[in-house]
């Protein structure tokens, strides 16, 4: 049974189901935990959170009967409720949501790293903890989709395994919204993205991070990660069908040339088709230990050529509508002779994003930054550019 209690009533032995309030404001990377350590109890009581939910089926109940003094104090607190309240996110400007999105991105990375490393040590994956992460990602994207989409490329080769999972989760949620998926199914789609590569925790580190070309034997080990991941998730009763499906089939192709089961179009579910598109896009735009990532616009263009055999065309078109022809982070050349970085997609057209202009081609130098909404400007895009060819670091823009 779930009970909502005041944090002052927390005791060792209680199972915390959820900590009320923003997950970034408390010191735990997960909302659910067994209070087995005095240090954790003290952190909880002193972190500024006022209420939490406990699960009495998994841990200690509130103390009853209470002393008279405690009864008097408790009378002024909110009564125990049966279900938590939900807050509907309101739309906010990009710059405002970016502050929150950066915190979500960093904390999700921390959580996924811990979760995956526990799996590598043979522990069961905590799917309910993944759901908490997806809830926060979903709420951020309700406030402003572009914020988290702007951050998914911020990863080094060493961080790839973990932040790739975060990125695919973000892309799956965004794509799901574009396809009209809502509610519980959208949450399951996000969890599927977050856990789709859990099988890579069975791959030896020397193979997973090998900078050179893999041997045939090593490649066979890597290609087995979807099935190994499915086996890991299949032992967890909270794992939903979309999570199992995407984990097993995100490397399948529409033409039947993927792996591990060589399924073709009529055998692939919508969720698996979504997973294939999101996984490939983030993989080819990310820096790896053995290659540089492609620029976002270049990746979209090349995926469009592949779509007949690799991807479901309807899903791919929805994906492009989600991230744009010039995705966030793309360096573009404008007709006015300036360079700018795409920071936000326009609701009016795929070719008129919002751009942060910062460089003059004629003067060959930086100019005062100007944010230009191309849907309201006479200026227009001439081409997508490679930042390396201009000697620019877009992460500093």
pLDDT at position 72 over 60: no
pLDDT at position 86 over 50: no
pLDDT of residue 126: 85
Domain ranges, ordered by start, for the chain: 2-75, 94-323, 331-396
Considering only 79-88, 209-218, 313-322, which range has the smallest mean pLDDT? 79-88
C-alpha–C-alpha distance, residues 56 and 82, integer Å: 13
pLDDT of residue 31: 65
| Residue 29 pLDDT level (bands cut at 50, 70, 90) | low
| Residue 374 pLDDT level (bands cut at 50, 70, 90) | very high
Task: Calculate what percentage of the chain has a pLDDT beyond 90.
Answer: 68
Q: Give the residue-averaged pLDDT of 354-380.
A: 96
Domain range 94-323, CATH architecture: Orthogonal Bundle (1.10)
Q: Would you state the structure tokens that stand for residue 184, as one six-digit string?
A: 């519980």
Element (H, E) at 222: helix 216-223
| Residue 200 pLDDT level (bands cut at 50, 70, 90) | very high
C-alpha–C-alpha distance, residues 85 and 367, integer Å: 48
Q: Give the residue-averaged pLDDT of 199-210.
A: 94
C-alpha–C-alpha distance, residues 267 and 261, integer Å: 10
pLDDT at position 217 over 90: yes
> Are 56 and 82 spatial neighbours (Cβ–Cβ below 8 Å)?
no
pLDDT at position 8 over 80: yes
pLDDT at position 87 over 80: no
Residue 147: CB partners within 8 Å, gap ≥ 6? Answer: 94, 97, 98, 100, 101, 140, 141
Q: What is the pTM of this model?
A: 0.79
44 vs 307, which has greater pLDDT?
44
pLDDT of residue 73: 44
Residue 5 phi/psi, 5° resolution?
Answer: -130, 160
C-alpha–C-alpha distance, residues 339 and 355, integer Å: 9
Q: Can you spell out the DSSP letters for 36-51?
A: --HHHHHHHHHSS--E
The SS3 call for residue 186 is helix
pLDDT of residue 30: 62
Q: Give the residue-averaged pLDDT of 327-352.
A: 94
**Closest to 119 measured CA to CA, from 241, 33, 203, 193:** 203
pLDDT at position 230 over 60: yes
80 vs 219, which has greater pLDDT?
219
Task: Calculate what percentage of the chain has a pLDDT beyond 70.
Answer: 90
pLDDT in tens, 252-272: 999 999 999 999 999 999 999
Residue 90: CB partners within 8 Å, gap ≥ 6? Answer: 143
| Residue 24 pLDDT level (bands cut at 50, 70, 90) | low
Q: Would you state the structure tokens that stand for residue 33, as one six-digit string?
A: 């935990």
Q: Give the residue-averaged pLDDT of 132-160.
A: 90
| Residue 141 pLDDT level (bands cut at 50, 70, 90) | very high
pLDDT of residue 158: 75
CA 281 to chain centre: 14
C-alpha–C-alpha distance, residues 148 and 131, integer Å: 17
Average pLDDT along the chain: 88
Considering only 150-164, 186-200, 218-232, 243-257, which range has the smallest mean pLDDT? 150-164
pLDDT at position 41 over 80: yes
DSSP state of 130: H
pLDDT of residue 172: 98
pLDDT of residue 356: 97
238 vs 108, which has greater pLDDT?
108
39 vs 299, which has greater pLDDT?
299
Considering only 49-63, 93-107, 363-377, 378-392, which range has the smallest mean pLDDT? 49-63
CA 326 to chain centre: 20
pLDDT of residue 253: 96
pLDDT of residue 175: 97
């Amino acid at each position: 049974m779930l009970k909502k209690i005041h944090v002052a009533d927390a005791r060792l032995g209680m199972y915390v189901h959820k900590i009320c309030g923003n997950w970034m404001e408390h010191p735990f990377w997960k909302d659910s935990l067994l209070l087995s350590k005095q240090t954790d109890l003290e952190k909880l009581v002193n972190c500024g959170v006022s209420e939490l939910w406990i699960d009495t089926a998994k841990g200690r109940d509130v103390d009853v009967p209470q002393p008279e003094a405690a009864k008097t104090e408790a009378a002024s607190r909110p009564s125990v409720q049966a279900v938590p309240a939900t807050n509907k996110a309101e739309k906010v400007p990009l710059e405002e949501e970016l502050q929150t999105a950066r915190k979500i991105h960093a904390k999700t990375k921390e959580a996924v790293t811990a979760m995956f490393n526990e799996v590598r040590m043979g522990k069961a994956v905590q799917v309910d903890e993944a759901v908490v992460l997806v809830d926060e990602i979903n709420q951020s994207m309700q406030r402003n989709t572009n914020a988290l989409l702007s951050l998914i490329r911020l990863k080094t080769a060493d961080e790839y395994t973990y932040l790739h999972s975060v990125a695919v989760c973000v892309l799956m949620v965004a794509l799901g919204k574009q396809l009209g998926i809502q509610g519980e199914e959208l949450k399951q789609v996000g969890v599927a993205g977050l856990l789709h590569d859990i099988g890579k925790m069975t791959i030896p580190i020397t193979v997973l991070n090998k900078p050179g070309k893999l041997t045939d034997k090593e490649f066979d080990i890597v290609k087995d990660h979807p099935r190994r991941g499915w086996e890991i998730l299949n032992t967890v009763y909270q794992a939903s069908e979309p999570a199992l499906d995407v984990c097993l089939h995100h490397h399948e192709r529409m033409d039947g040339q993927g792996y591990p089961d060589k399924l073709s179009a009529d055998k692939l579910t919508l969720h698996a088709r979504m997973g294939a598109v999101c996984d490939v896009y983030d993989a080819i735009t990310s820096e790896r230990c053995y290659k540089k990532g492609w620029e976002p616009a270049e990746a979209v263009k090349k995926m469009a050529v592949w779509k007949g055999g690799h991807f479901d065309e309807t899903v791919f078109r929805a994906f492009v509508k989600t991230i744009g022809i010039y995705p966030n982070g793309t360096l573009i050349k404008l007709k006015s002779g300036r360079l700018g970085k795409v920071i936000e997609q326009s609701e009016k057209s795929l070719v008129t994003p919002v751009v942060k202009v910062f460089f003059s081609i004629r003067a060959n130098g930086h100019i005062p930054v100007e944010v230009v909404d191309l849907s309201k400007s006479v200026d227009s895009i001439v081409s997508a550019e490679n930042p390396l060819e201009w000697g620019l670091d877009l992460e500093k823009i």
